[in-house]
């Protein structure tokens, strides 16, 4: 029987039986296995405890045995047995990695030193797609900061990292065939802050590091709107800014400048920019960018954006996204796009949509999202009033925005991805929790907004919906137990008042 709050684990495993006591660890504890996850475990234990476990090959005997056996669990699944010794068996390498993350959460300091709580666990994910998004455009974050983001989110069993690489405020990835994008359109960010960009080697380094943590990188080039920065580098590719009432009012309220053609845009307003839909050179640009990104992106997806194209007439928007999704397929990748792209009748078959509307859909959002499914694609759920990590926790919180909602930890936890849209459950690949960076001027700001709410999204994505402990009162206690681990890993999480944070 699984007792409420029995084990300090987030996300909640599919099956947990808690044991009695702990298995002590010391410098003499041996880790056996030849997986890369053995080194990950040894390094993480050393950071947390100061104890460096010894390592031997799979042919030896030891206290912690790690191995892969496809017959033991589903892909990404694992079994974990902790008694007088530890055995972690992954259904694949990813499953073994996730088993290690669970083991690290059970590593606890007591009056008699460090030990691992005894338990029998069998686990596998609910959704195949469990994503987070980092906007590196409104404010830029370097390779080491992205790696830290990968460390802390993969530890919660997220397996996709969506990098929002281009927007009105800057272009953040070097493209050989269009070099002015990074020469002229990358140096600034929102509010006039420092910009930056990734060389192709930088990007490859991020992709490789993500792969080591069993995360797939999804690059996004936002089109045909959110493209003011393209015009700073190549004015002939974009239309003149189209002002809208909301942009003008918001810019005035915030004291931010309106966009000016050919000049870096430092504000937050949206909807004013568009590439030139009827110029063939625009599609040469799209094809070159997609081709170069595809060459350095081993994952299956290229995200083409498609949101908030308020400055593009609907017929032009439809024409553009139909051609752009086809280009992505022609370059060997699956197109991913925000839900507005579903308005176009002939988007490429199999295009995957990302729904960012609210948990109660507004306007045409639900119909647009459903069209991806009708065209043989599927959906990623990113409901803005529940999953957006850049919304404020409270009205007084110094970081974040409020246009979608004020999202405290409970609100982030209590939504169900399959109940938002009228589509089959099988059409929902999973969820993604986006972090937009208008207000995050430092990486510490990012972590304050992301943690602890990313843990709520991780449990929604991973854990069985019907599990007895899959409810708020259990989650808030289990979430509180994450504090010692996050502190040891120097994650600057927000200590939300509704969570009973533990000391060890």
Q: Which CA distances in Å does 47 have to 104, 484, 489?
A: 11, 12, 7
Secondary structure class of 220 (helix, strand, coil): strand
Question: What string of H, E and C letters represents the secondary structure of 278-294?
Answer: CCHHHHHHHHHHHHHHH
Among the listed residues 244, 220, 153, 223, the one whose alpha carbon sits nearest the alpha carbon of residue 447? 153
Question: What string of H, E and C letters represents the secondary structure of 349-415?
Answer: CCCEEEECCCCCCCCCHHHHHHHHHHCCCCEEECCHHHHCCCECCCCCCCCCECCCCCCCHHHHHCC
Q: Round to whole Å and give the CA distance between 398 and 155.
A: 27
Q: What is the mean pLDDT of residues 251-256?
A: 95
Question: Tell me, what's the pLDDT at 61?
Answer: 77
Q: Round to whole Å and give the CA distance between 226 and 254.
A: 19
Q: What is the pLDDT of residues 92-150, one digit of tens each?
A: 999 999 999 999 999 999 999 999 999 999 999 999 999 999 999 999 999 999 999 99
* Class of residue 319 by CB neighbours under 10 A (exposed 0-12, middle 13-18, buried 19+): middle
Bridge-based pairing of strands 54-56 and 86-90 is unpaired
Q: Round to whole Å and give the CA distance between 351 and 493.
A: 35
Q: Round to whole Å and give the CA distance between 216 and 210.
A: 6
Neighbours of 219 (CB within 10 A): 28
Q: What are phi and psi of 204, to 5 degrees?
A: -60, -35
* Least confident residue range of 16-20, 77-81, 259-263, 451-455: 16-20
> At residue 199, does pLDDT exceed 90?
yes
Q: Which CA distances in Å does 324 have to 278, 307, 348, 356?
A: 13, 14, 9, 20
* Least confident residue range of 2-11, 21-30, 386-395, 437-446: 2-11
- In the structure, how many helices (H) and strands (E) does the chain have? 16, 18
Are the beta carbons of 243 and 272 closer than 8 angstroms? yes
- pTM exceeds cut of 0.95: yes
Q: Round to whole Å and give the CA distance between 499 and 341.
A: 39
Residue 41's region, left for phi above 0, alpha for psi from -120 to 50, else beta, is alpha
Q: What are phi and psi of 24, to 5 degrees?
A: -70, 150
Question: Tell me, what's the pLDDT at 504?
Answer: 86
> At residue 4, does pLDDT exceed 50?
no
Domain 134-465 has CATH 4.10.320.10: no
Residue 391: band (very low, low, confident or very high) from pLDDT cuts 50, 70, 90: very high
Residue 57: band (very low, low, confident or very high) from pLDDT cuts 50, 70, 90: confident
Structure tokens at 231: 């015009």
Question: Tell me, what's the pLDDT at 6?
Answer: 66
Residue 153's region, left for phi above 0, alpha for psi from -120 to 50, else beta, is alpha
Q: Locate tokens 């039986």: which residue?
A: 17
Q: What is the mean pLDDT of residues 6-31?
A: 94
Range 357-375 burial, b when 16+ CB lie within 10 A, else e:
bbbebeeebbebbbbbbeb
What average pLDDT does the structure give for the chain? 96
Residue 5: band (very low, low, confident or very high) from pLDDT cuts 50, 70, 90: very low
Question: Tell me, what's the pLDDT at 298?
Answer: 98
* Least confident residue range of 53-62, 163-172, 434-443: 53-62
Residue 1: band (very low, low, confident or very high) from pLDDT cuts 50, 70, 90: very low
Structure tokens at 235: 């004015």
Give the alpha-carbon dihedral of 420, 461, 375, 357, to 10 degrees.
40
> At residue 58, does pLDDT exceed 80?
no
Q: Round to whole Å and give the CA distance between 243 and 144.
A: 37
Among the listed residues 205, 190, 67, the one whose alpha carbon sits nearest the alpha carbon of residue 137? 190
Among the listed residues 488, 497, 484, the one whose alpha carbon sits nearest the alpha carbon of residue 10? 484
CATH number among 3.40.50.800, 3.40.50.1980, 3.30.379.10, 3.30.9.10, domain 15-123 = 3.30.379.10
Q: Give, as one character, the DSSP assignment of residue 190.
A: G
Question: What string of H, E and C letters represents the secondary structure of 54-85?
Answer: EEECCCCCCCEEEEECCCCCCCCCEEEEECCC
Among the listed residues 23, 227, 31, 217, the one whose alpha carbon sits nearest the alpha carbon of residue 110? 23
Q: What is the mean pLDDT of residues 307-315?
A: 96
Question: Tell me, what's the pLDDT at 60?
Answer: 75
Residue 59: band (very low, low, confident or very high) from pLDDT cuts 50, 70, 90: confident
Q: Which residues of the chain form CATH 3.20.20.80?
A: 134-465
Q: Which residues of the chain form CATH 3.30.379.10?
A: 15-123
Q: What is the pLDDT of residues 38-49, one digit of tens each?
A: 999 999 999 999
Q: Which CA distances in Å does 172 have to 179, 254, 264?
A: 12, 25, 14
User: Which residue would you say has higher pLDDT here, 6 or 65?
Assistant: 65
């Amino acid at each position: 029987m699984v007792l409420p709050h029995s084990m300090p684990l987030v996300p909640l495993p599919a099956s947990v039986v808690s044991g009695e006591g702990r298995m002590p660890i010391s410098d003499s504890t041996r880790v056996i296995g030849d997986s890369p996850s053995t080194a990950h475990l040894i390094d993480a234990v050393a950071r947390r405890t100061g104890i460096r476990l010894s390592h031997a090959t799979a042919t030896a005997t030891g206290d912690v045995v790690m191995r892969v056996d496809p017959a033991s669990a589903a892909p990404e699944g694992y079994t974990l047995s902790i008694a007088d010794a530890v055995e972690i068996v992954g259904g694949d390498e990813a499953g073994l990695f996730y088993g290690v993350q669970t083991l690290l959460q059970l590593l606890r300091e007591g009056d008699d030193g460090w030990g691992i709580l005894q338990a029998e666990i069998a686990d596998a994910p609910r959704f195949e797609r469990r994503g987070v998004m980092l906007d590196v455009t409104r404010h830029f974050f370097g390779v080491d900061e992205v790696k830290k983001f990968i460390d802390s989110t993969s530890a919660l069993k997220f397996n996709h990292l969506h990098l929002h690489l281009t927007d009105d405020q800057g272009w953040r990835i070097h493209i050989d065939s269009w070099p002015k994008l990074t020469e002229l359109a990358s140096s600034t960010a929102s509010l006039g802050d420092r910009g930056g960009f990734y060389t192709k080697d930088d990007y490859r380094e991020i992709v490789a590091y993500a792969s080591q943590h069993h995360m797939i990188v999804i690059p996004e080039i936002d089109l045909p709107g959110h493209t003011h920065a393209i015009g700073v580098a190549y004015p002939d590719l974009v239309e003149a800014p189209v002002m809208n009432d909301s942009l003008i009012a918001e810019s005035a309220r915030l004291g931010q400048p309106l966009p000016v053609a050919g000049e870096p845009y430092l504000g937050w307003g949206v909807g004013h920019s568009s590439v030139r839909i009827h110029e063939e050179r625009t599609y040469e640009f799209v094809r070159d960018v997609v081709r170069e990104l595809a060459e350095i992106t081993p994952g299956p997806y290229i995200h083409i954006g498609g949101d908030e194209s308020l400055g593009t007439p609907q017929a032009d928007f439809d024409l553009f996204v139909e051609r752009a999704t086809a280009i992505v397929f022609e370059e060997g990748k699956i197109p991913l796009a925000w839900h507005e792209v579903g308005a176009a009748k002939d988007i490429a078959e199999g295009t995957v949509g990302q729904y960012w509307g609210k948990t109660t859909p507004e306007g045409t959002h639900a119909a647009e999202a459903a069209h991806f499914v009708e065209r043989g694609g599927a959906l990623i759920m990113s409901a803005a009033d529940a999953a957006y990590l850049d919304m404020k926790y409270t009205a007084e919180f110094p970081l974040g925005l409020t246009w979608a909602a004020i999202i405290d930890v409970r609100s982030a936890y209590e939504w169900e991805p399959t109940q938002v849209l009228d589509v089959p459950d099988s059409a929902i690949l999973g969820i993604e929790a986006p972090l937009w960076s208008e207000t995050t001027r430092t990486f510490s700001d990012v972590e304050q907004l992301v943690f602890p709410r990313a843990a709520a999204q991780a449990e929604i994505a991973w854990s069985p919906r019907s599990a007895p402990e899959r409810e708020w009162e259990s989650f808030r206690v289990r979430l509180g137990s994450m504090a010692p681990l996050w502190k040891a890993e120097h994650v600057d999480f927000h200590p939300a008042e509704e969570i009973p944070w533990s000391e060890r």
